[in-house]
Structure 1
């Protein structure tokens, strides 16, 4: 924990926006340098212009590659495009528009030149493709320009195909490889033109008007609860006022400031400015308002993550809130399929497993990455899909798809519905789950690893683990593939009746991440974490 974590940012912490944007245009990446190549993680290509990892050439090449990919896939409809409030997002959108228009792609950008949250873009794609008349004009897809909760100097660029969610690894690998070819070839083959003829779409209006089909606003309004919403300077900033005005709920936008330096933020755990609504340090200024509201919420820069603050519990752990949301939704959504599953990533809390068992619902456990939930959300076989990092989405009242990307706005509104309908805060409801199922201790830590060890861990097979016990309990499973869909998890998960750990290599640092949980308390958790490192080291031949 950094000594200044949770304290207000100072002048020395702020980026030079002009220098950042200047570097976007001036610095040219070298495709032979790994750190300067296009690389798609679970949420697109990310980097900073200052480190020559997110520059104009990257966006020119990625956009041209997306054009070629969608052509090869027979995608002929419009491409929706939107950007968040990061300083590099606006120039990246301008660059992308130059390439899209030059290639004859029909583009739909925001009607009010507003910021576009990730869930609003996913919603737009699905609304187009689920309308037979519009779909007859060709399937739509989209680009959302955001590094999510990353620091102010970062940029991000993500492609969402016609299913509306994050592109799968087959698509992103092809796009990244083609983009790197274009950069290595001096951008020969990249078409550019002035972005004229771009059409508009009312992302905010369409999204907000449709919310009545997934959130019980009548209950919220009748209850009279007071709601606070902090966009943390992100893309949802104008959405919250629109929601308040349309549905007549008692909601205050506690911070309407948009600042590419994020000078109003408090520093995250490592001393960086990071718009993470699940971090108590990043949310310190928001938490100061907790006593004024029945429900207080926060979102990250592209509003795909949520933070839930209650007057009796403070900022909720994301895993705790997911468990509460699941129990509530599966008891209050009669229009969902009776066999709709509960989707979770394999590093999310086992409290969700116990809640699912108590509900008599099938638990669908998948690798890290929201893309795995997409098929189930589309066909209604998954009622709720959530990640431990405070990202989730669920179905409409009638059991049809809402978004296939994470929706932080939706999960924040659900907290108000839960409070209005049950008369209890999500924190109170979690304490009831603890009384029923036990009190898990959960933590993510990092352990050092060489690039070779990281590569080996990513390919590890459960059979390579010879241990039979973990922290005094018999091991019940050694997983290298997710139980829900059989997909490789890119690491290892080991479970017992009361504890588990999962180890995955970091994509950016020489460490591997250890997620661990114990229903026997914090001291037992420490034993699990220590033994996890030993088990992983032995499995890697150390």
Structure 2
């Protein structure tokens, strides 16, 4: 049956500006007439002539409105000259899996990822759409800016209204349509096979299977892997249960993806993954616990009795032990990088190992150029994201497999590995205070106050004292970054207050929420000798100083953060 596209008149919506990882709004906003269509068409408009005859990957975390959005994308893609869409069955593809698919298929233009990452799902909560470019990574600022410019002036979109999409993505297989005299192909693929094959190339699965199942001489290493009802459930079943022999009853939980994530907040931290933390704390049989967010790019690691591994320490430990992973044995290790707010633990590993080091703005897209240039092997963000150059996204399951590889190689517990690391490098005690959905004007006023404060002549060199401990300011700025590969510049990335002892305070407004403003305060207190104390005790003086400097309570009225990580 020959199908014809049509042109639909529309008008722009305000605020369709992609953040650090695409456009995120409440589901009901995306459900407004023409809203999703406008943004999808604007992606194609920004890509221009490259769309003609192109192949794109489409999938996401399965949250509410995903199937409706995929139907819209199929119809609009068919009408804009796209030749082929590769879609995960039921619309399910983790963000790392999308990156892997883009990179492993020749000539793929990129991918459209349907996710709001770690934000809550369901009809009352959040949805998101982001575009990943040809290298598999998030769109750089130049592409995101172009998409946004098109959203502000869009007057029409193209679609194929009679293209039947109901149940199309439910069944594996390839369907070819004739649209405007051209072939348009939709290939529905198994959501896990490509990604699992990549993991088997990177890690020694027989060794990891032996670790998890145990031997006569070595007891089983008991894990508890929590997918938090997100997209990683299908990958956890395939990798940990089917490939590595973990028990589906004892070693994994919440592995069925739900469109509302079971009414939980799928953010793998001590607050929202409390069920996992409690289970591991109460059951001493568990040697490691891990949780992932909704789309599978974030991870949390805890050891026996819920010993917490900060993302900063996780990155540093992996950097110090990459040599035990087959992928890096073959490929070698070049540089390390972290986002600016992330604690400086990995900096010290890079210095000791003689590797190149980079400090970049928040947003995984900033790592992509360095990886493509062959200068970056491992990177991470304090927001529970870790990854390597195997793809161009952070990768939660990869991080857990990397940790298991280190544990198998060193034959040590999670806690003992951390303590050994701290004895060598010192410890960056770290916490992040999130104040979610603050009134936007108040949040902006606080940032203006900080700008004025750090610009004053007397600020650098000033000492602050709390609970008997003093910190002297050595540098303060609003972080900017010049990309060493393409010389692009990112400015106003967050207020930094650096102290003489290596400790730091960072203040940022986050771009990952769907409403209001989220203020993030990062506290990084470095200790060379006193590495085994309680983190809360060691951080208390700098937390108090951070709140004093920012006057956060005065500006926002908030007595306490929404989340502490």
Partner residue, 1:407: 395
| TM superposition score normalised by structure 2 | 0.76
Matching of residues 52-451 of structure 1 within 5 Å: 52=29, 55=32, 57-73=34-50, 76-110=53-87, 112-113=89-90, 115-128=92-105, 134-135=106-107, 139-152=108-121, 153-182=125-154, 185=155, 188-193=156-161, 194=163, 195=165, 196=177, 197-223=185-211, 224=214, 225-244=221-240, 247-250=243-246, 252=248, 253-263=252-262, 273-277=264-268, 279-290=269-280, 291=283, 292-329=285-322, 333-337=328-332, 340-395=334-389, 402-445=390-433, 450=442
RMSD between superposed Cα atoms in Å: 3.1
Offset of 1:148 from its aligned partner? 0.8
Write the deviation string for residues 355-396 of structure 1: whole angstroms up to 9, x where unpaired. 33233323210011111001122233111011111112113x
Contact 2:60 2:113 in 1 (8 A): yes
Closer/same/farther in 2, CA of residues 489 and 237 from structure 1, 3 Å limit: same
Write the deviation string for residues 50-76 of structure 1: whole angstroms up to 9, x where unpaired. 3x3564522211111112222345775
Contact 2:298 2:394 in 1 (8 A): yes
Offset of 1:464 from its aligned partner? 5.6
User: How far apart, in 2, do the equivalents of 1:465 and 1:56 lie?
Assistant: 53
| Unmatched tracts of structure 2, length 5 or more | 1-9, 166-176, 178-184, 215-220, 465-469, 484-488, 528-537, 555-565
Closer/same/farther in 2, CA of residues 74 and 108 from structure 1, 3 Å limit: closer
| TM superposition score normalised by structure 1 | 0.79
User: How far apart, in 1, do the equivalents of 2:396 and 2:474 lie?
Assistant: 34
| Unmatched tracts of structure 1, length 5 or more | 1-28, 129-133, 266-272, 396-401, 538-542
Bigger Cα displacement from structure 2, 188-197 vs 38-47: 188-197
* Secondary structure of the structure 2 residue equivalent to 1:150: coil
Bigger Cα displacement from structure 2, 494-503 vs 456-465: 456-465
Offset of 1:310 from its aligned partner? 1.8
Offset of 1:222 from its aligned partner? 2.9
Partner residue, 2:24: 46
User: How far apart, in 1, do the equivalents of 2:294 and 2:110 lie?
Assistant: 21
Offset of 1:481 from its aligned partner? 3.5
Partner residue, 1:522: 539
Offset of 1:493 from its aligned partner? 1.1
By percentage of residues, which structure has more strand? 2
Partner residue, 2:516: 509
How many residues are aligned here? 478
| Structure having the higher Rg | 2
Offset of 1:166 from its aligned partner? 0.6
Offset of 1:282 from its aligned partner? 1.6
Write the deviation string for residues 163-195 of structure 1: whole angstroms up to 9, x where unpaired. 11110122112112312433xx4xx23334325
Contact 1:446 1:513 in 2 (8 A): yes
Offset of 1:104 from its aligned partner? 2.4
Contact 1:46 1:53 in 2 (8 A): no
User: How far apart, in 2, do the equivalents of 1:455 and 1:58 lie?
Assistant: 32
* Secondary structure of the structure 2 residue equivalent to 1:41: coil
